[in-house]
Amino acid sequence: MTPLLATKGLSRHFGGLRAVDNVDFTLMPGEIRAVIGPNGAGKTTFVSMVSGRIQPSSGAIVFDGADITGMPAYVRVRQGIAYTFQITSIYANLSVYANVALPVQLTLRHGPSKSAIQAAVMTALERTGLADRAHMPAGQLSYGHQRLLEVAMGLALKPRLLILDEPTQGLADSEIDNFIVLVRDIARSATVLLIEHNMPVVMQLADRITVFNAGKILAEGTPEAIRENAAVQEAYLGTAP
């Protein structure tokens, strides 16, 4: 099986800082992959290069067998790579409905009717539990609901690869439980790449975990293997066995 996403020797330097340093990474279709690591390990820089927001200093990115290294971000989105922002980035002045209609009308661009847009928007809002807030201005949603709206916008793109950058940051425990159910649901139709600090969430969701440290991949494996990995414990969890 060809990997959905692969990077070869991917690097990004900011001046003298090697934020991401020669990373070889492979992601199979249908996986839920968590990327963890201490702050400043290069996780967000890495997914930003995958989504096209940042250009790599060197290396290559291959998506579904095709080299996308030089492809502009908006084309990658159309190819099926959706990115949800770490810092909530919604259209605060527009209605929740309009926020989701924007990605929907892109995926339906071959002769979408008004009713087709409406149906697709409401589907995405129902999956994230925001349907009854469709006509509120997005800026008036609670923080947790704004995070969910980010995910709904990502979902509406019907991605093959959905990148979630710290989606549970700032969520209440009850919201996190619902979120885990939601990501499992999403994973039935898309591959999920999840940057996450909340370890219980990672352990419950991830099929495999990739650990970043100082711009490099420190370890990769199943949640159990990572939990037992001494190097990871030292670098990330900070507790020697």
Contact residues for other proteins, defined by CB under 8 A: 51, 53, 72-74, 77-78, 82-83, 85, 89-95, 97-98, 101-103, 105-106, 112, 153, 157
Run of H or E residues at 58? strand 58-63
> Torsion over CA of 143, 211, 206 and 226, rounded to 10 degrees?
-130
Q: How far is the CB of 102 from other proteins (least distance, A)?
A: 5
Q: How far is the CB of 46 from other proteins (least distance, A)?
A: 16
Alpha helices in the chain (DSSP H): 43-51, 73-79, 96-107, 114-127, 143-156, 173-187, 199-205, 223-228, 230-232
- With respect to other proteins, which residue has the nearer C-beta, 18 or 53? 53
Q: How far is the CB of 112 from other proteins (least distance, A)?
A: 8
Enter the tokens of residue 180. 């885990």
Enter the tokens of residue 12. 């990004």
Q: Which residues pair with 135 in a beta bridge?
A: none
Exposure string (b/e) for 155-171, b if CB count within 10 Å is 16 or more?
bbbbbbbbbbbbbbeeb
- With respect to other proteins, which residue has the nearer C-beta, 6 or 157? 157
- With respect to other proteins, which residue has the nearer C-beta, 63 or 83? 83
For 197, the 3-state DSSP assignment is coil
- With respect to other proteins, which residue has the nearer C-beta, 164 or 202? 164
Q: How far apart are CA 210 and CA 81, in angstroms?
A: 19
Q: How far is the CB of 238 from other proteins (least distance, A)?
A: 34
Q: How far apart are CA 82 and CA 65, in angstroms?
A: 18
Q: How far is the CB of 19 from other proteins (least distance, A)?
A: 19
- With respect to other proteins, which residue has the nearer C-beta, 2 or 89? 89
Q: How far is the CB of 18 from other proteins (least distance, A)?
A: 25
- With respect to other proteins, which residue has the nearer C-beta, 109 or 238? 109
